[in-house]
Structure 1
Amino acid sequence: MEPDAKTIWLFRELLKEKAFIKNKFERFERHLEDQGLLTLDGKGMDANIVEASRQHNNDKEKEAIKSGFFEVSNYRK
């Protein structure tokens, strides 16, 4: 029989309450530092991959972009 969602949640809360998870990660971080590896705090981010539209500039526009000058009046939408 598999545990239900509430049982898993309660077990996770118990581990957090007893600082078990934090203790394990602190030990792991010390081990990495002992091995000469740098550890940093950070945040995880969720990314979505979307298709970008293709660039359709003519040769004159490409040269203007490369040179750092682009005439707004010549810009095509």
Structure 2
Amino acid sequence: MQQLPDLSTLSSTQRDALTLELWTMVQTLTVQISELQARLNLNNRNSSKPPSSDGLNKPQPQSLRKAGQRPVG
């Protein structure tokens, strides 16, 4: 990575070019981050990934039984 130039010695055109370049880099990184976050949010329920690839983030099993009328115990 290059060193930051002394901004007081740059002309306004050079500062504008530097600002535009930095803005472009920020936009590119923002897109890359959102793509990576989308990939992290995939699991076997919303993609074609196998269940074994979910790792330890598997959802808790849910009971198919309905709650009864009588108290527990």
Q: Same fold (TM over 0.5)?
A: no
Question: What is the TM-score with the length of structure 1 in the denominator?
Answer: 0.30
Query: Relative CO higher for 1 or 2, CA cutoff 8 Å, sep ≥ 6?
Result: 2
